[in-house]
Structure 1
């Protein structure tokens, strides 16, 4: 059975707010009305769509319906905005996006700022590892994502953005204390800085350089700029985006441990494959700014 618009709108609001009470407040209806709409959707779908957890989540079937709900809501907002008299209303289309922390810290915010004002867009940015941003796209949480996975999510389109280059680096004092003698082998046991527990760049670098697994103690600093600063201060060595470490290397505050071996992470832009002026404007800005800041993969 087809879903009613207010039911789809309710599902999107429920997931955004994380609770039935929050969705009710946002939609200006009662909590009971939100619950009734969800149950009606589940009857139509013939399966459970919503996990009654804190915060509220969706089941696998719910992810499918949520993606549909967000597309319907976005198209409705696009249409409503186009029908308004230009300059008389402040209606905007909300575009949720997923991006990895290093892109957000180095080039992606410039892409957001490059979206024309007349596109009438507001952003909700979800920060996630580049290997996992596609999962948010698949779940319907976001409309577009910067991802390292080239495989296209169903219902989406994919375009290559280029490669983000990283440099393995440490402070001069750290190099003197931990990397004397055979630097490559010493790196296996030297303290390292990781962004979080899903950050595999340091391990990839050690394996490529030495053929061994990293064995040293690990620090976790889950903020891109603070991650780079921790390495400058000598907390450990780590793999840092070129844009964040080039100035420090030039000034002697960091040592590039392998100038001839940058770590390359290929990035892709995935977005819903729907006709939306708002999403089109975002995509154009992302592709244009990425071309200026990322390395060619050709």
Structure 2
């Protein structure tokens, strides 16, 4: 089945911009023309591709064609660049999904040396980031899943090691008799967001099921670290972020003998896009230097 490039471009614009009016402005078309192109694509595919909500959202079949649309756009951009037809000063764009801790520690330094690539980051928990590859919103992702998404390749990066941390004042207040299951059930816990299961996983491994402390949600890696450092609660912090603070006494290890290792993998579209390959190579070099290798 052949899909019309203009119709695919309209579908991508509608999802990217959240609606038909905004997509029309971006494509320099009327909303009616954009709607007709998406409708024609839906007729061609034999199913609804866009949920007419606010903002609009791709259906499951729509996500399949959205990924196709973005792959075609990336290949077109690469061809324009290779032919020397790209606008001056407009590097190719690569959309990435990365977990916040990786972005705050090793990913940004890894990609700082790529001035010829325009990077668009989306933050997502490593246990959920592969979904962005399925729905076409990302070309590559740092994920905890070793199983490659259909149409993608998966490469091991290494392991991020997490340890339970708190401030000395927090420990004196909440754990005067040590970090027991009873104390852990009462002491406030810092959680990144409602998808973040690291703290719960660690508590279950350490004390078994049923330990459910109160929690604060702090959805930014640097602010999460600051919340732990200031004594708002305890939390799981990566060694890359916390080692200097343990050395200077700002943070205390709650249980020096216990760690939680999170394997990370790089997944990307199985499409030859030089800009994406440059990103993958830079991440692989940094991961080999900064992450634990199994």
Match of 1:197 in 2: 194
Q: How far apart in 1 are the matches of 2:38 and 2:85?
A: 34
Q: Distance in 2 between matches of 1:44 and 1:85?
A: 32
> What is residue 7 of structure 1 aligned with on the other side?
7
Alignment check: 8 A CA contact 1:206 1:213 kept: no
Residue 91 of structure 1 and its aligned partner are, at CA, apart by 3.6
* Separation in 2, partners of 1:79, 1:107: 31
CA RMSD of aligned residues (A): 1.4
Moved more, 263-272 or 174-183: 174-183
- Counterpart for residue 140 of structure 1: 136
Residue 70 of structure 2: aligned partner: 70
Comparing 28-37 and 204-213, the one that deviates more: 204-213
Give 1:80 shift.
Answer: 0.8
1:183 match: secondary structure: coil
Structure 1 unaligned residues grouped into runs of 5+: none
Deviations 1:147-204 (A, max 9, x none): 0011110000000000111120111111111112142322233211111111111111
Give the equivalent residue in structure 1 for 2:43. 43
> 2:79 is paired with a residue of what secondary structure?
helix
TM-score, scaled relative to structure 1: 0.94
The 3-state SS of whatever aligns with 1:222 is coil
How far apart are the structure 2 equivalents of 1:290 and 1:236?
30
The runs of at least 4 aligned residues of structure 1 exceeding 6 Å deviation read none
Distance verdict in 2 for CA 1:85–1:60, change over 3 Å = closer
How many Å separate the matches in 1 of 2:7 and 2:110? 33
Quick one: distance in 1 between partners of 2:290 and 2:249? 24
Distance 1:255 1:289 in 2: 28
Q: Corresponding residue for 2:107?
A: 108
Alignment partner, residue 151 of structure 1: 147
8 Å contact 1:193–1:235 — kept in the other structure?
yes
Alignment partner of 1:146: what SS? Answer: strand
Helix, strand or coil for the counterpart of 2:119? Answer: strand
